């Protein structure tokens, strides 16, 4: 066995152990055991979401536990979102408003969420991205967890839907990274910021806490605002509750491979802790998931074991989050796309401009 193949095996072993611990720990987070619930304000920041809002608002109107209010903040959309809200929001029982001009130093989503949170009225605030699709029991399940938790913030991971294998391979890298590289127990309980995690598609916090502490104002310049919020919670000595919403919530993050590459390039380096971290991760990804193919072709039979091991890990995570175990067979393609995405993210950071939804942010 070559040294690099040995390194790949060590990485695969560590990822396997983390995955096993996470699957055992997290199984208790799927079904809320309590029958109590809380009243919810559902808050939706929307920039250029004309194609997503009709389906989301229709899904919210069909909830078994109706929210106390639904409010949409139009964040200077340029795709007809404002016109659609003017004509149709009331049909779904939703209120909406146009965000004031974004001040210097604020990321658009943080600004829109801040506006929403400061005017909401229910006991708990639930921020949902416009591309989420809740089933009729989602709010009831989420409210039941909120009724019994002492955590300052609640987040959830959904099932993912892909338009095609191009965006699906990159999307599957999200649950793969979370389940094989992050201890969910530590993300919930530890005060170490290195374990901070939240999913910005679903963020819940008590109204009283939100309007007193103003969390989005605390992280107003963060492009990766969800992880920044989780770090802020840990700095305070509080906890984040991470729910398994795969049975009640679906998300289609991107429409095709090009949009997925663009979206993940925006924050890939940030997820890795910066440019250096992104380069290290891309190198380990290449050694662990690409190099064994070259070694197998060169006649090293043990490389096939590493290949099968990696495909099993990736397919297990993809299946756990609704994308299907078949993605495991395309693991080397996913790894190659991820390496390219990481390098692209580093280039964007080095040039000092990260484009997203018609805006450019300084990293």
> Measuring CA to CA, which residue among 29, 53, 2 is closest to residue 244?
29
Global pTM value: 0.92
Q: Strand 202-206 vs strand 153-157: parallel, antiparallel, or unpaired?
A: antiparallel
Whether residue 322 lies inside any domain: the answer is yes
Q: What is the per-residue pLDDT for 356?
A: 65
Q: So what's the pLDDT on residue 179?
A: 93
Ordered alpha helix ranges (H), 214-301:
215-218, 225-235, 257-271, 275-289, 291-297
Phi, psi dihedrals of residue 152, rounded to the nearest 5°: -70, -35
User: Domains in the chain: how many in total?
Assistant: 2
Same domain flag for 16 and 68: no
Length of the chain: 363
pLDDT at res. 34:
64
Q: Verify that 95 and 137 share a domain, yes or no.
A: yes
For the chain of 363 residues, list the mean pLDDT of each consecutive stretch of 10.
Answer: 88 96 85 77 94 95 95 91 92 94 92 96 97 95 92 95 83 91 92 90 97 97 92 94 94 82 81 86 94 91 94 95 90 92 87 71 67
For position 165, what pLDDT does the model report?
A: 79
Which domain does 306 fall in, by range? 3-23+257-347
Give the distance, in angstroms, between the CA of residue 324 and the centroid of all CA atoms in the same chain: 18
Phi, psi of 157 (to 5 degrees): -110, 130
Q: Are residues 320 and 216 in the same domain?
A: no
**CA within 13 Å, CB half, 254:** 22
């Amino acid at each position: 066995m070559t040294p690099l193949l040995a390194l790949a095996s060590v990485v695969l072993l560590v990822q396997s152990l983390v995955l096993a611990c996470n699957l055992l720990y997290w199984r208790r987070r799927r079904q809320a055991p309590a029958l109590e619930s809380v009243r919810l304000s559902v808050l939706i920041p929307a920039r250029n979401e004309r194609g997503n809002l009709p389906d989301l608002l229709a899904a919210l109107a069909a909830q078994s536990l109706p929210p106390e209010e639904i409010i949409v903040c139009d964040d200077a959309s340029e795709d007809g979102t404002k016109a659609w809200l003017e004509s149709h929001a009331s049909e779904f029982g939703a209120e909406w408003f146009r965000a004031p001009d974004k001040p210097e130093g604020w990321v658009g989503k943080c600004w829109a969420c801040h506006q929403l949170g400061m005017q909401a009225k229910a006991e708990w605030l639930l921020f949902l991205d416009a591309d989420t699709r809740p089933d009729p029991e989602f709010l009831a399940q989420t409210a039941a967890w909120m009724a019994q938790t002492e955590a300052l913030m609640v987040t959830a991971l959904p099932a993912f839907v892909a338009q095609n294998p191009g965006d699906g391979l990159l999307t599957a890298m999200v649950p793969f990274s979370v389940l094989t590289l992050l201890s969910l127990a530590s993300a919930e309980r530890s005060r170490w910021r290195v374990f901070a995690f939240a999913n910005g598609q679903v963020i819940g916090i008590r109204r009283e806490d939100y309007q007193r502490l103003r969390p989005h104002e605390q992280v107003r310049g963060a492009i990766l605002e969800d992880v920044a919020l989780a770090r802020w919670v840990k700095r305070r000595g509080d906890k984040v509750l991470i729910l398994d919403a795969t049975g009640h919530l679906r998300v289609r993050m991107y429409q095709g491979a090009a949009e997925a590459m663009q979206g993940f390039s925006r924050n890939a380096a940030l997820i890795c802790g910066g440019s250096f971290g992104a380069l290290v991760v891309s190198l380990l990804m290449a050694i662990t998931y690409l190099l064994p193919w070259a070694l197998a072709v060169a006649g090293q039979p043990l490389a096939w074991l590493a290949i099968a091991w990696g495909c099993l890990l990736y397919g297990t995570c993809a299946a756990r989050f609704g994308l299907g175990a078949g993605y495991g067979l395309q693991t080397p393609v996913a790894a190659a796309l991820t390496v390219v995405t990481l390098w692209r993210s580093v280039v964007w950071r080095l040039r000092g401009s990260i484009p997203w939804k018609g805006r450019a942010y300084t990293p």
